[in-house]
Amino acid sequence: MNVSMVDRHNSQSQHRVVIVGGGFGGLYAAQALGRAPVEVKVIDKRNFHLFQPLLYQVATGTVSPADISSPLRLVLRKNQNTQVLLDEVVDIDPDEKKVILPDGEMPYDTLAIATGVSHHYFGNDHWKNYAPGLKTIEDALEMRRRIFAAFEAAEKESNPQRRQAWLTFVIAGGGPTGVELAGAIAEIAHGALKKDFRTIDTTAAKIILIEGLDRILPPYSPDLSARAQADLEKLGVTIRTQTLVTNVAENAVTVRHENQEEVIPTETILWAAGVKASPLGKVIHERTGAELDRAGRVIVEPDLSLANYPDIFVIGDLANFPHQGDRPLPGVAPVAMQEGQYFAKLIRKRLQGDTVAPFRYVDYGSLAVIGQNSAVVDLGFVKLTGVIAWLAWVFAHIYYLIEFDNKLTVMLQWGWNYFTRGRGARLITGEDSLGKIAQRMKSGYYDAEKPTEQVEVR
């Protein structure tokens, strides 16, 4: 039996597993430990598990936050060995084997850290005021507010240039999130909102997707990227590859393509590029000496543990697993799920005195949705596009949602939206939902008497 597994606390009879983070990695780990002879504590800052792959649907007004969230207590209620705690781990003490909370500490025998990543502005953190990312419910509601408020402001705007800026949506990053956002906004402009306005023509909205590499969805095969691009363009999205965002301001984004800089006037910039590790990555590095990659993710051993601390594991997006293929495993839900399950299996085996083989990710394929009838799916042995891919995408997601919480209403909401093309959840909420628009419209950065420089937007 592994030395680190010996319980040093006589008051506790059971092996204590502390899991930090209730995302896909942490939740799958906890679920898989539900019947193991261990005492599990799941610590999360939030009281719910968030189904992040559908967050863009909250941002674009199709579903409500609760539709893609499951209370952690509800999901884990049947696991009598498990306690959920709403708290934040701010530090760890790997030698004393405890995690530090803002108002206390908690001992562990085995620790799994799965606090994920947030978005990253490549050293330009002030951009986040103008270009929200999409990692939390609050992020999604902020995007939703901006997207729908932009159409409202355009309806009231008499100056054509300013109106066009309100009707211009720039999405930075051509990965799955950027593609899904661009497709959904195009569908809003050309579908749901088309008949709702009297002054503006919402179909005149410009949706511009910016990608630094030479094609969108770079992890996919080139033909799927091409198909995704064609489908997005059919929806009215302008795609600009090999283009870098060099500046983000309140009312414009600056991009560079082949050494040419260009300013695009826009009131709505959405950030879907770049991630950085949660702050616990740095803490782990400082306390254990574990190496970090450039994004701050923790480089783990083949069994997901840390080099000198076999009782500390990092799973999910926060982990950099370099032991399979020529690149680290991608930060997607299936990797996190499998890592969580592997971790649970390893613990059970260790407690029985057994060992397990190193972690191996089984790739069942990747998929990204483009619109209400279109997606791209790469299963390795077969590639799907169009309606069939879209149906595959729908069923894969419903399968995972139902597994947790019988989210029947999401399916019905989708069905309803599909046939009505409505956007029932397009509420502009937040204490200051009108204030910001009014302020920005009044602030005079666009002065009617001093027309802004004419900028051609391709």
Residues at the interface with its own copies (CB under 8 A): 45-48, 64-67, 69-71, 73-74, 77, 83-88, 102-103, 137-138, 141, 148-149, 152-153, 155-156, 193, 195-199, 405-409, 412-413, 416, 420, 422-431, 433-434, 437-438, 441-442
The owner of tokens 């309803």 is 416
Q: Per the residue annotation, which of 142, 180, 267, 301 is the catalytic one?
A: 180
Nearest CB to its own copies, comparing residues 247 and 409: 409
Least CB distance to its own copies at residue 64 (A): 4
* Alpha carbons 357 and 345: distance in angstroms, whole number: 11
Least CB distance to its own copies at residue 104 (A): 8
Task: Report the Cα–Cα distance between both ends of the chain, in Å, rounded.
Answer: 65
Nearest CB to its own copies, comparing residues 117 and 428: 428
Residues 6+ apart with CB under 8 A from 401: 51, 54, 68, 407, 410
- Which of 242, 274, 336 lies closest to 123 in space, CA to CA? 274
Least CB distance to its own copies at residue 293 (A): 28
- Which of 48, 82, 78 lies closest to 64 in space, CA to CA? 48
Burial 2-18 (b: 16+ CB within 10 A, else e): eeeeeeeeeeeeebbbb
Is residue 145 within 8 Å of residue 428, measured between CB atoms? yes
Least CB distance to its own copies at residue 215 (A): 36
Please, where are the H alpha helices in 191-250?
222-235
Nearest CB to its own copies, comparing residues 39 and 180: 39
Least CB distance to its own copies at residue 403 (A): 15
180 is catalytic: yes
Nearest CB to its own copies, comparing residues 244 and 427: 427
Nearest CB to its own copies, comparing residues 188 and 351: 188
* Alpha carbons 137 and 11: distance in angstroms, whole number: 40
Task: List the beta bridge partners of residue 112.
Answer: 19, 313
Number of H helices, E strands in the chain: 12, 25
Burial 236-275 (b: 16+ CB within 10 A, else e): bbbbbbebebeebbebbbebeeeeeebbbbbbbbbbbbbb
Least CB distance to its own copies at residue 213 (A): 33
* Alpha carbons 335 and 358: distance in angstroms, whole number: 14
Nearest CB to its own copies, comparing residues 225 and 413: 413
Q: Which amino acid is at 175?
A: G
- Which residues form the catalytic set? 180
